[in-house]
Amino acid sequence: MANKHVITLIVNGKDYTLSVEARRTLADALRDDCGLTGTHLGCEHGVCGACTVLVDDKPVRSCLMFAVQAEGCSVRTVEGLAKGDALHLLQKAFWENHGLQCGFCTPGFLMLAAGALEADPDLSEEEIRDILSSNLCRCTGYQNIIKSVCLAANEMRACPPSADR
């Protein structure tokens, strides 16, 4: 068996020291080694986006990155989005607007939208739509996802990210 690497991941602001094989993807490390199972695996080839997390604030596919590559990076997952039980504006909008059904794709959409809107709070609906076309949802037909994200984007603009993060 290949050598294990001892690495430290900073996930949602907390340090996790892990011993992993090089082949362990970031997604598997988050799920199996950190116990953060909110990040889901839907295809393991970078298409479905269920595993989208923020690495140094950028939305990436955690199935296409090895955990060893994330050493020292700041990783944010869906578990870090709410402040305690206070939902993030995106989560709140998804809840109020039925932006999820089975919920399997939801963490990926939330993190994708969070990363994109933090990078550019002024994205237009068309730009948001283009960005959200990165991820697959099989239940909602996307209609309430785009609605939720656009409504949340408005609120996030009114209430700057630093205040709600």
Partner 1 sequence: MSWIGRSLPRLEDPSLLMGRGRYVADLARGAASVKFVRSPVAAGRILSIDVPDGELVFTAADLDGVKPICPILHRPDYIAVEQPILAKDRVMFCGQALAVVVAEDQGLAEDLAEEVYADIDAEDAIVDMEAALAEGAVAVHAHAPGNVLVEGVLRSPGLDAAFADAAEIVTLDLRSGRQSAMPLEGRGGVAQYDRISGRVTLYASVQMPHMLRTGLADVLQIPEADLRVVAPDVGGGFGQKMSLFPEYVALVWLARKLERDVAWIEDRRENFLASSHSRDQSFHVRGAFAKDGTLLGIDADLKSNVGAFSCYPVTCGVEPLMALAELPGPYKVPEYGVRSRGVTTNTGMMAPYRGVSRPMLTLTMERMMDVAARRLGIDPIEIRRRNLIDSFPHRSPTGLVYDEGSYKEAMDRAVAAIDLTGFRARQKEARAAGRYLGIGFSVFSERTGYGTPAYAARGMNIVPGYEIVSCAMDPSGFVEARIGSSPHGQGLKTALAQLIADELGVEPGKIKVFSGDTDATPYGWGTFASRSMVIAGGACKLAAGKVATRLRSVAAVMMQASEDHIVLEDGLARVTGTNQSLPIPEVARAAYHQSHRFPQSGPGLIENATYDPGGTFSNACHACIVEVDIETGGVKIERFIVAEDAGLLINPMIVDGQIHGGVAQGIANALFEELIYDETGNLLTVSLADYLPPTMAEVPTIEIEHLETVSDATITKAKGVGEGGAIGAPAAIINAMVDALSPFGIEIVRMPATPQYIRKLIREAERDAHG
Partner 2 sequence: MKPASFDYIRPGSRAEILAALAAHGDDGKILAGGQSLVAAMNFRLARPEVLIDINGTKDLDYLQPSGDSLAIGALTRHAAFHKPVVDGPLGPLLAKVVRNIAHYPIRQRGTFTGSLAHADPASEWCLVATTLDAEMLIVNAEGERRCRAGDFFKGTFTTAVGAQDLLAEVRLPLLDDGWRSGFYEFSRRAGDFALAMSLAALKLENGRITEARLGVGGVADRAIRLHALENELAGKAPSRELFEDVAASAKAAIKPSEDIHASADYRRDLIRTVVLRALTEAAA
Binding site for partner 1 (CB under 8 A): 1, 21, 23-24, 28, 31-32, 35-45, 47-48, 50, 77-79, 81-82, 87, 91, 94-96, 98, 100-107, 110, 129-130, 132-146
Q: Do the Cβ atoms of 123 and 131 come closer than 8 Å?
A: yes
**Nearest partner of 106 among 31, 56, 47, 52, judged by Cα:** 52
Distance CA 129, CA 121 (A): 14
- When the beta carbons of 3 and 162 are compared against partner 2, the nearer one is 3
- When the beta carbons of 72 and 124 are compared against partner 1, the nearer one is 124
- When the beta carbons of 72 and 120 are compared against partner 1, the nearer one is 120
Residue 106 binds: one of partner 1, partner 2, none (C-beta under 5 to 8 A by kind):
partner 1
Q: Do the Cβ atoms of 131 and 116 come closer than 8 Å?
A: yes
Residue 95 binds: one of partner 1, partner 2, none (C-beta under 5 to 8 A by kind):
partner 1
Q: Do the Cβ atoms of 27 and 55 come closer than 8 Å?
A: no
Residue identified by tokens 């602001």 is: 13
Q: How far is the CB of 132 from partner 1 (least distance, A)?
A: 5
- When the beta carbons of 72 and 130 are compared against partner 1, the nearer one is 130
Distance CA 108, CA 5 (A): 27
